[in-house]
Amino acid sequence: MDIASIVGLILAVGLIVGSMLMGSAPMTAFVDIPSFLVVVGGAMAAAMICFPLRSILGVPKVMLKVMLNKNEDVAVLIKQIVALAETARRDGLLALESEIPQVENPLVRTGLQMAVDGSTPETVEEVLRTEVNAISLRHREGKGVMDQLGRFAPAYGMIGTLMGLIMMLSDMSDPSGIGAGMAVALITTLYGAIVANVVFSPFAEKLGLLSRKEMTGMEIAIRGVMAIQSGESPRAIDQKLQTFLPPKQRTQE
Residue 1 interacting with its own copies (CB under 8 A): no
In terms of C-beta distances under 8 Å and separation of at least 24 residues, what long-range contacts does 215-218 make, across chains too?
215/132, 215/136, 216/74, 216/244, 217/72, 217/74, 217/77, 217/105, 218/107, 218/132, 218/135
Q: Which of 91, 104, 134, 231 binds its own copies (CB under 8 A)?
A: 134
| Least distance CB 17 / its own copies (angstroms) | 10
d(CA 232, CA 82): 10
Q: Which is nearer to its own copies, 80 or 111 (CB)?
A: 111
Residue 115 contacts by C-beta under 8 Å, 6 or more apart in sequence?
93, 96, 121, 124, 225, 228, 229
| Least distance CB 112 / its own copies (angstroms) | 14
Residues 51-90 that bind its own copies (CB under 8 A): 51-53, 56, 66
Indicate left, alpha or beta for 118 from its phi (over 0: left) and psi (-120 to 50: alpha). left
Q: Which of 88, 139, 143, 160 binds its own copies (CB under 8 A)?
A: 160
Q: Which is nearer to its own copies, 23 or 92 (CB)?
A: 23
Residues 161-180 that bind its own copies (CB under 8 A): 162-172, 176, 179-180
d(CA 43, CA 232): 52
Residue 143 interacting with its own copies (CB under 8 A): no
Residue 123 interacting with its own copies (CB under 8 A): yes
Site string for its own copies, 16-55 (x = CB under 8 A): x--xx-xxxx---xx---x--xx--xx-xxxxxxxxxx--
Orientation angle between helical segments 201-229 and 74-91, nearest 10 degrees: 10
Site string for its own copies, 207-226 (x = CB under 8 A): --x--x---x----------
Q: Which of 75, 93, 158, 226 binds its own copies (CB under 8 A)?
A: 158
